[in-house]
Homo-oligomer: A and B are copies of this chain.
Amino acid sequence: MLWPPSKTIQIKCSECMLGHFCFPAQLDSSDVLLLDALAKERVHLKRDEVLYRQGDVMNSLFSVRFGALKTEISIQSGQHQVLGFHLAGEIIGLDGIGEDRYQTNAIALEDSEVCIIPFDEFEDLAQRVPALQHQFRRIVGKELSQDKRHLLSLGSLPAERKLALFILNLDQRAKARGAVNHEFEFKMSRADMGSFLGITIETVSRLVKRFSEAGLIQIKQRSIKIIDIGGLHELAGELN
């Protein structure tokens, strides 16, 4: 199956602004040059376009160059669960490394571009370059940790705390990407937020309103500005 959108070939890892977040992080520049040979291709996705589907044979990892994606898992009976949101510099496709097939759908939340890292080539290289292997392990481990914290959130916390933690997490990631004054945009719909948090969109809406009325945040559609970050942390009960 060909990619729905066209591939482009351009910027090298060694010249990419995202090095700090992405695979190159913590690698020697000599090692990053090796990556250049791998991540040659990129895909552009429009909103709602699918990068890969649950069940597809896993042959690549991807790193988000710009934009935002979500991953979600679903079962026959129709249920589906949003598992994560993925911003510039983040690696996706790791859910395929156990079974050789992706376990999730990855879908663009807005116009996005991702770098394609052919996995068998990557493996070969990693086998020869310990630093790369190590970096891969860190990235996988990060995802594992994240999922485990997410499990705590879904299993043990009331909706209010889940939402507070979610906002704080996005804030942190937005800040790392240059956002200031705790102001950023939600790239996902209320439905996606709700699914991610294990609550309904109505509950999301009501909680957002409550936070807003409590003076914790200011909301206008999908724009948010955190007013009282201490208050939010308190509400969240700390986790991060």
A4 at the interface (CB under 8 A from B): no
Cβ–Cβ contact A147 & B155, under 8 A: no
Chain A: number of interface residues, binned into ranges: 35 or more
Majority secondary structure, A binding face: helix
Q: Chain B contacts of A148 at CB under 8 A?
A: 73, 83, 95, 103-104, 147
Cβ–Cβ contact A152 & B81, under 8 A: yes
| A80 to B95 CA separation, bound complex (whole angstroms) | 25
A203 at the interface (CB under 8 A from B): no
Cβ–Cβ contact B144 & A195, under 8 A: no
Q: Chain B contacts of A195 at CB under 8 A?
A: 155-156
**Given A103-B144, A144-B144, 12 additional A-B pairs, CB 8 A:** A73-B151, A74-B152, A77-B237, A80-B152, A81-B151, A94-B141, A96-B141, A97-B138, A99-B145, A103-B145, A147-B148, A154-B155
